[in-house]
Amino acid sequence: MTSVVERLQGQSPKFSVEFLPPRDAEDEKILWKAVRELEGLDPAFVSITYGAGGSRRDRTIRATGRIAQETTLLPVAHLTAVDHSVAELRNVIGWYAAIGVRNVLALRGDPPGDPMGEWVAHPEGLNYADELVSLVRELGDFCVGVAAFPYGHPRSNDLDTDLKFLLRKLNAGADYAVAQLFHEPEPFLRMRDRVAAAGCSAAMLPGIMPMLSARGLSKIVELSGADLPVEISRRLEPYADDAAGFRATGIDIATEMCQKLLDEGVPALHFYTMNRAKATREVLGRLGLVARA
């Protein structure tokens, strides 16, 4: 199977997409509709998350396998250390390898129930993402990605500490990092440049989620761990009671940010889709990376 690193090579900008694991049969239909819509756009890779606290990991594993076996897409398997013994992790990694999945996103994961709660490792498990990276590397010829946090991980005391942990993951054998959400290009670009200045050449991919509604914006702010910049608030404020205007402005903001990132040489844009294809298609179309939606 092709690796993510191989798919990111070349001059033309690339993009990738992330989906959520389905909660039920209806969710699965929505997921597969988005998968099929985006398949024709030839993303560099697609991934399905483990769900909050690993809550839907069985569905994640099945859906990742189905993508590998039934589509032309390159799947990246999410894997977390949450509630897993090392033996269980070995079994999951081995199952992925058996069906031809050779790309893994290795994450420590958040405590189940409360993402900001105290982390308690499985008594026979792992404590840190770099340990998971090392384990995956030991078990086969995998291409491994990790998470990065432009504003710093919520548990990091400062950006310097956060950089040290990111470098530990990359130096453990990770090939690339996918960034958590951010509101404007500069925090991501500063993080990327600091990684490069530390002598690490791993690819850094920005995570993008267009601001499509007031409710969605609240979730983006929560996930990013940073307040919305004043300028973006001012642009969205006139559309508080205008859903169509809010969405259109959110697409504008996302497109402008993506163009700045491409101008700065990012190898790919990673879209958090929430299992919908339309917004991703719109932004990519405006950027000229696919036919206009």
Q: Which residues are catalytic?
A: 18
Q: How far is CA 12 from CA 16, 106, 288, in A?
A: 13, 27, 11
- Which secondary structure element, helix H or strand E, spans residue 205, and what is its range? strand 203-208
Q: What is the C-alpha separation between 230 and 32, in angstroms, rounded?
A: 37
* 3-class SS of residue 126: coil
- Residues with Cβ < 8 Å from 224, sequence gap 6 or more? 150, 151, 180, 181, 182, 183
19, 87, 67, 6: which is closest to 272 by C-alpha? 19
Dihedral (Cα; 66, 31, 176, 292), 10-degree rounding: 120
Contact status, residue 16 vs residue 38, Cβ threshold 8 Å: no
Q: How many CB atoms lie within 10 A of CB 91?
A: 12
Going by C-alpha positions, the residue among 195, 188, 135, 128 that lies closest to residue 160 is 195
Beta carbons of 114 and 87 less than 8 angstroms apart: no
Q: Are 150 and 112 in contact (CB under 8 A)?
A: no
28 and 284 Cβ atoms separated by less than 8 Å: no
Query: Is the separation of the CB atoms in 18 and 60 below 8 Å?
Result: no
